[in-house]
Amino acid sequence: MNLDFALFHTFLNQYQQIPATDFDLICQHMQWRTIKAGDHLLEQGKTARELFFVTNGILKIISTSEKGNEVIQFFVKENKFCTVLYSFMGQVVSQEGIMAATDGAVFVFSRPQLHRLYQQLPSVKELFEGIIQQALLDKIQLRNSLMGEEATTRYLKFMAQHPDILQRVPLSDVASYLGITQQSLSRIRRNLTLSGTGND
């Protein structure tokens, strides 16, 4: 756990130098929580009241299709903040949920804790919100880059951009994110292996 705190401090220092005294204050306003694959951090239909920072593991932001199937919108891995931003900021019901795709650990900021922290360290508000908004834009841009592509191309792009996620989450999750069935993904992987393009 101590290593997680050090890594979080290093992460923040990439954007803005955080003095040790300020970082100690940040730590006083958050909790460390272990998670297991399948744990719900936010259920669909509930209001987001927590902001997470992933120190270990992978989270997935999910929604439900018209047919009632789980659809993975985004993956969030280590050194990333995670929440459903519109729900957290506006305190409205979230149409998406957050689940643990793997075992891991997160730092948790409740909304009241975060507001108290922002009052004591106003510069942290601008820092956190800037990082969170940029991360959301990056995820949307990545998602949009896959839309309209043929299934094999989507898989190859995902494999090139996130080989670590591909190795760590179930193939059913990868298929859901790519918008294809698990059977189709297995066929794509088999064909790529035969052609010498893919790797398992």
Residues 124 and 158 in one domain: no
Domain that holds residue 84: 2-147
Each residue of 98-135: pLDDT tens digit?
A: 999 999 999 999 999 999 999 999 999 999 999 999 98
The tokens describing 14, both together, are 């990439």
Provide the pLDDT for residue 139: 84
Q: How many other C-beta atoms can be found within 10 angstroms of the C-beta atom of residue 171?
A: 13
Residues 104 and 162 in one domain: no
Residues 28 and 105 in one domain: yes
Residues 140 and 77 in one domain: yes
Provide the pLDDT for residue 198: 58
CB 139 within 8 A of CB 82: no
Is residue 197 very low, low, confident or very high in pLDDT (cuts 50, 70, 90)? low
CB 117 within 8 A of CB 25: yes
DSSP code of residue 47: B
Each residue of 37-72: pLDDT tens digit?
A: 999 999 999 999 999 999 999 999 999 988 888 899
pTM for the complete prediction? 0.91
Residues 69 and 111 in one domain: yes
Instruction: Name beta bridge partners: 34.
Output: 105
Q: Which residue has the tokens 């804790």?
A: 113
Residues 105 and 172 in one domain: no
Radius of gyration in angstroms for the set of CA atoms belonging to the chain, rounded to a whole number: 18
Count of helices and strands (H, E) across the chain: 9, 8
Which of 103, 119, 147 represents a domain boundary (last residue)? 147
CATH number at residue 89: 2.60.120.10
Helix (H/G/I), strand (E/B), else coil: 182: helix
Residues 45 and 135 in one domain: yes
Instruction: Name beta bridge partners: 32.
Output: 107
Query: How many domains is the chain partitioned into structurally?
Result: 2
Residues 126 and 65 in one domain: yes
Residues 64 and 117 in one domain: yes
Residues 139 and 170 in one domain: no
CB 100 within 8 A of CB 37: yes
Provide the pLDDT for residue 65: 86
